[in-house]
């Protein structure tokens, strides 16, 4: 009764958060670039909003501006971060580059002795030349205005040799350019290029596409109108699209099997499912969800069984590359695969088969969840959503840690800061060891190391309507 009364009082004296429906339409990649580059045309030789002028090259038709392939089939692009980017910004660069690594044969690697490399710096907006120019090649990604994954991937796509999507040689079959709403000085931004379109369809959702009202001189009037349906969404802010990935792999003739899954929900199957999958097959599926965390549930699983799953197997990583922590290590056979929840918006599934026996493979359903997860690996970190940034309001998260039968779990909170309140009635953490309860914990405090008496621990994390802080960082191990 007391707890209910306290929450009722809190609702009265503290304002409710603004509804999502009242928020403005999120800015797309190119709108943010134009905002960051405002006025730079008087300082830098920019065209099309963010392209450093270079003569004699025309984007995807520039075979002589490709980055070379190494003997193992990788396209190596050395880079140097020459500005004082902080740790979070460097992680953002890494995350943006990681998607290229998992989905294509392109590898952005730190520059060491290479004399041709991209030099990424801050101070002059967001910009790049098209393709490989040789020597120390400038890429502008300003600390103030360009620190978004979509913008980073946009400029890196320019580096790889791609122009803006609406500049394709065949664009007039897909969009109408409304020149009546474009000032004469801005019309060159809508010139077509002599592009090699690689046999890939026009991509309204490309990270390289202008937004609908780019360079409009009349409020509310579009400069780019899709055909035949003018209501088709164009431009976005999240990063590489499915067809962006296809273009890179086609342009550089990458011998990879990869799939980008970027919708809120869908289905994932192995090749040929429900028929037998191929031998000598390796493929990855990268989940990059618009928000929240990825939840993956297998509804069918039949993969050749072998000792230690040495022949055919799946692995699932908690992030966009194979360098990220494993959620599930090599798994095979026909048993039940436990439900998986990522700690962030990205999840990588790897499937590999050898040259002998195959099965029917697998089918899985994916969707988004606010938070939580089920963890089976011997040790890893668990954090509140968005840590070390403030967590969200109105969360109900369950983190379940399961060790093998006969083992126990130690859980250590190394950082803990939640909203403080009387008897932790607002935001709190409870740890359950079977029916034994540790907590409720709230505020900024130290929590003693918790050792389970069974092979399972559950962390309940609850938040109320407001007053969010950075949350918690915990580590577990099996003993």
Active-site residue, 114 included: no
Can you give the CATH number for the domain in which 73 is found?
3.40.390.10
Distance of CA 258 to the CA centre of its chain: 15
pLDDT of residue 54: 62
Q: Are 103 and 127 members of one domain?
A: yes
**What is the chain's pLDDT, residue by residue, as a tens digit (479 residues)?**
444 444 443 433 333 333 222 223 357 888 888 888 787 777 777 778 888 776 433 344 565 689 999 999 999 999 999 999 999 999 999 999 999 999 999 999 999 999 999 999 998 899 999 999 889 999 999 999 999 999 999 999 999 999 999 999 999 999 999 999 999 999 999 999 888 899 999 999 999 999 999 999 999 999 999 999 999 999 887 889 999 999 999 999 999 999 999 999 999 999 999 999 999 999 999 999 887 888 899 999 999 999 999 999 999 998 999 999 888 889 999 977 888 888 788 999 999 999 998 999 999 999 988 788 888 888 888 999 888 889 989 999 989 999 989 999 999 999 999 999 989 989 999 999 998 999 899 999 999 999 999 999 999 999 998 888 999 999 999 99
CB 434 within 8 A of CB 454: yes
| Residue 195 within any structural domain of the chain | no
Find the length of the chain: 479
Same domain, 39 and 154: yes
Supply the pLDDT for residue 325.
84
- Residue whose tokens read 């025309």: 58
Tokens describing residue 239: 């990063």
Whether 36 and 157 share a structural domain: yes
- Distance, in Å, from the CA atom of 430 to the CA atom of 301, rounded to the nearest integer, reads 34
Q: Number of structural domains, the chain?
A: 3
CB 141 within 8 Å of CB 33: no
CB-hemisphere CA count at 13 Å for 348?
22
Catalytic option among 155, 165, 211, 419? 155
- Tell me what pLDDT residue 342 has: 86
**Quick check: is 24 in a domain?**
no
Task: Supply the pLDDT for residue 55.
Answer: 46
Burial 107-145 (b: 16+ CB within 10 A, else e): ebeebeeeeebbbbbbebbbbbbbbbbeeebbbbbbeeb
Q: Is 156 found in the same domain as 65?
A: yes
**Residue 389: left (phi > 0), alpha (psi -120 to 50), or beta?**
beta
For residues 151 and 33, state if they share a domain: yes
- Residue 26: its pLDDT value, please? 55
Contact 445, 365 (CB under 8 A): no
- pTM flag (> 0.75): yes
The CATH number that applies at residue 270 is 2.60.120.290
The pLDDT of residue 12: 38
Q: 460: domain range?
A: 379-478
- How far CA 136 is from CA of 80, 117, 139, 451, in Å, comes to 9, 5, 10, 54
383: its two tokens:
């954090």
Torsion angles phi and psi, residue 360, rounded to 5 = -80, -10
**425 is a domain residue:** yes
- Residue 62: its pLDDT value, please? 60
Residue 7 lies in a domain: no
Are 266 and 384 members of one domain?
no
Are 439 and 344 part of one and the same domain?
A: no
Quote the CA–CA distance of 259 and 33 in Å, as a whole number. Answer: 27
Examine the domain organization and report whether 408 and 361 are in the same domain: no
pLDDT of amino acid 161:
93
Q: Which of 137, 162, 187 is the last residue of a domain?
A: 162
Do 264 and 322 share a domain, yes or no? yes
User: Domain check: are 86 and 104 in the same one?
Assistant: yes
Residue 243 in domain? no
| Domain final residue, candidates 324, 341, 369 | 369
Task: Tell me: do 263 and 357 sit in the same domain.
Answer: yes
Residue 210 lies in a domain: no
Residues 156 and 67 both lie in one domain: yes
Judge contact between 258 and 242, C-beta under 8 A.
no
Contact 215, 173 (CB under 8 A): no
Per the domain annotation, does 98 fall within a domain? yes
Final residue belonging to a domain, choices 346, 369, 392: 369
Residue 234 located in a structural domain:
no
Q: What is the SS3 string spanning the chain?
A: CHHHHHHHHHHHHCCCCCCHHHCCCCCCHHHHHHHHCCCHHHCCCEECCCEECCCCCCHHHCHHHCCCECCCCCEEEEEEECCCCCHHHHHHHHHHHHHHHHHCCEEEEECCCCCCEEEEECCCCEEECCCCCCCEEEEEECCCCCCCHHHHHHHHHHHHCCCCHHHCCCHHHCEEECHHHECHHHHHHHCCCCCCCCCCCCCCCCCCCCCCCCCECCCCCCCEEECCCCCCCCCCCCCCCHHHHHHHHHHCCCCCCEEEECCCCEEEECCCCCCCCCCCCEEEEEEECCCCEEEEEEEEEEECCCHHHCCCEEEEECCCCCCCCEEEEEECECCCCCCEECCCCEEEEEEECCCCCCCCEEEEEEEEECCCEEECCCEEEEECCCCCCCCCCCCEEEEEEECCCCCCEEEEEEEEECCCCHHHCCCEEEEEECCEEEEEECCECCCCCEECCCCEEEEEEECCCCCCCCEEEEEEEEC
């Amino acid at each position: 009764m007391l707890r209910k009364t306290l929450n009722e009082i809190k609702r009265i004296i503290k304002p409710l958060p603004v509804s999502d429906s009242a928020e403005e339409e999120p800015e797309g990649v190119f709108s943010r670039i134009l905002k960051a580059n405002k006025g730079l045309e008087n300082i830098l030789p920019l065209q099309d909003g963010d392209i450093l002028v270079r003569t004699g090259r025309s984007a995807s038709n520039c075979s002589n501006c490709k980055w070379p392939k190494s003997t193992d089939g990788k396209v190596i692009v050395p880079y140097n971060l020459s500005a004082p980017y902080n740790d979070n910004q460097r992680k953002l660069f890494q995350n943006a580059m990681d998607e290229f690594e998992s989905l294509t044969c392109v590898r952005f690697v730190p520059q060491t002795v290479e004399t041709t490399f991209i030099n990424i710096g801050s101070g002059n907006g967001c910009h790049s030349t098209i393709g490989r120019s040789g020597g120390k090649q400038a890429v502008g990604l300003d600390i103030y205005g360009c620190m978004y994954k979509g913008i980073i991937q946009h400029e890196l796509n320019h580096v790889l040799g791609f122009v803006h999507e609406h500049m394709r040689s065949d664009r007039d079959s897909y969009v109408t350019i409304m020149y009546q709403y474009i000032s004469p000085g801005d019309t060159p931004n809508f010139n077509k290029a002599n592009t090699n379109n690689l046999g890939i369809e026009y991509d309204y959702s490309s990270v390289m596409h202008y937004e609908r009202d780019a360079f409009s001189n009349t409020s509310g009037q579009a400069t780019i109108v899709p055909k035949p349906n003018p209501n088709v969404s164009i431009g976005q802010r999240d990063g590489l699209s499915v067809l962006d990935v296809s273009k890179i792999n086609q342009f550089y003739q990458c011998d990879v099997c990869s799939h980008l899954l970027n919708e809120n929900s869908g289905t994932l199957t192995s090749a040929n499912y429900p028929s037998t999958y191929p031998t000598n097959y390796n493929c990855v599926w990268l989940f990059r969800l618009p928000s929240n965390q990825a939840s993956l549930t297998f509804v069918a699983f039949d993969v050749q069984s072998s000792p230690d799953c040495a022949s055919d197997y799946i692995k699932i990583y908690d992030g966009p590359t194979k360098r990220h922590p494993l959620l599930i290590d090599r798994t095979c056979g026909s048993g039940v695969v436990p439900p998986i929840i990522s700690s962030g918006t990205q999840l990588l599934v790897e499937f590999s088969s050898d040259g002998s026996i195959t099965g029917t493979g697998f089918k899985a359903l994916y969707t988004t969840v606010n938070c939580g997860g089920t963890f089976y690996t011997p040790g890893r970190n668990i954090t509140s959503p968005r840590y070390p940034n403030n967590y969200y309001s109105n969360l109900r998260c369950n983190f379940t840690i399961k060790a093998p039968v006969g083992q126990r779990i130690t859980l250590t909170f190394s950082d803990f800061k939640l909203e403080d309140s009387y008897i932790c009635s607002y935001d709190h953490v409870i740890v359950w060891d079977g029916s034994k309860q540790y907590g409720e914990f709230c505020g900024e405090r130290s929590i003693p190391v918790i050792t389970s008496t069974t092979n399972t621990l559950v962390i309940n994390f609850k938040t109320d309507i407001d007053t969010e802080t950075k949350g918690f960082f915990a580590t577990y191990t099996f003993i």
